[in-house]
Amino acid sequence: MLQAASGSNLENLAKIRMKQKDWPYPQWIAHRGAGLHAPENTLAAFRYGYQAGYRMFECDAKLTADHQIILLHDATLDRTTNGTGLASEVSWDQAQRLDAGQWHSTLYAGEPVATLDRLNAFCQANDCMLNIEIKPVPGHELITGTLIAQAACAAWQECEIKPLLSSFSVDALRAAMEAAPELARAQLMHTLRPQWQSAVNELQCHALICNHEIVSADIVGSVHEMGMRCLSYTVNDELTARRLINLGIDGLITDEVERFDPRNGFKSI
């Protein structure tokens, strides 16, 4: 159960957040690599996003039956591979034989399921940053949060800017905090939960990542008063992006890597 922090503790936590180095992450983040233009969460998608100018990527990570970390959004393999069933019930040996590209287009037929290790290597070789969404198969929240946080911490220990860990799962994010407290954390929320401030404070989050439809001036202001950053997903049209930027949003996660220019603002469309 989340414990409500005292007023003095909340004030101290906000001060600690504000004393941290300036938020190191860019405003524009490519969702699942470039999941509209290439098969999501595959290295092909991250390469596509990189060539479109993006230098930070969001990915979804979960565990196989033998606790290898793969990139996959759904609990099941069915939508984005030629496999079936729960990802947590296949071994890495079985997962690496799957085709994770054919569903998107024949151009990507044979694209393998990606691992977090390989994405870490790609990002570090190309000076890119990473938002790892911990996406546990239901019932595997604690072990997933723990192992992903430990893996991220080990892989990025020599890097100045380490990954941002995020999750909808409070249990997974708490496990990540306990396993690697030095990594920045963000709570994902599709709808604003009651007492959300207590939740993000208990997890010592550095950011709140919201569905763009619920973001308001009050939410952005409250997040900033807490010493945190406010990010939004999944922002795919210019009108929404401009509204959020005018509200002071700190980060926008988008599928539309061809529509938005992460270096120079909006493209002429």
Structure confidence at residue 15 as a pLDDT band (50, 70, 90): low
Q: Is residue 86 part of a domain?
A: no
**From 31, 140, 206, 212, the catalytic residue:** 31
Query: pTM to 2 decimals?
Result: 0.93
Positive or negative, the Cα torsion across 108, 111, 115, 121?
Answer: negative
- With beta carbons less than 8 A apart as the criterion, state whether 149 and 158 touch: no
What CATH number does residue 146 fall under? 3.20.20.190
User: Above 80 in pLDDT, residue 30?
Assistant: yes
37 is catalytic: no
Over 80: is that where the pLDDT of 20 sits? no
22 pLDDT band, cuts 50/70/90, is confident
97 Cβ contact partners less than 8 Å away, ≥ 6 residues apart? none
Answer whether residue 207 shows pLDDT above 90: yes
Phi/psi for 230 (5° steps) reads -120, 120
In a domain, 220, yes or no: yes
71 in any annotated domain: no
Q: Into how many domains does the chain fold? A: 1
Range(s) of the domain holding residue 217: 7-59+131-263
Residue 80 lies in a domain: no
Segment 161-166 shows an average pLDDT of 98
Residue 254 lies inside a defined structural domain of this protein: yes
In a domain, 98, yes or no: no
DSSP for 39-99? TTTSHHHHHHHHHTT--EEEEEEEE-TT--EEE-SSSBSTTTSS--SBGGGS-HHHHTTS-
Residues 31-65 as b/e (b if ≥16 CB within 10 A, e otherwise) read: bbbbbbbbbbbbbbbbebbbebebbbbbbbbbbbe
- With respect to residue 21, please indicate whether it lies within any of the assigned structural domains: yes
Based on the residue annotation, tell me whether 73 is a catalytic residue of this protein.
yes
Active site residue: 67, 73, 190, 206, which one? 73
Q: What's the pLDDT tens digit per position in 69-78?
A: 999 999 999 9
* Nearest residue to 256 via CA among 45, 37, 27, 26: 37
What backbone torsions phi and psi does residue 255 show, to the nearest 5 degrees? -85, -25
Provide the pairing of β-strand 260-261 with 265-266: antiparallel
Q: Distance between terminal CA atoms of the chain? A: 48
- Is position 69 within any domain? no
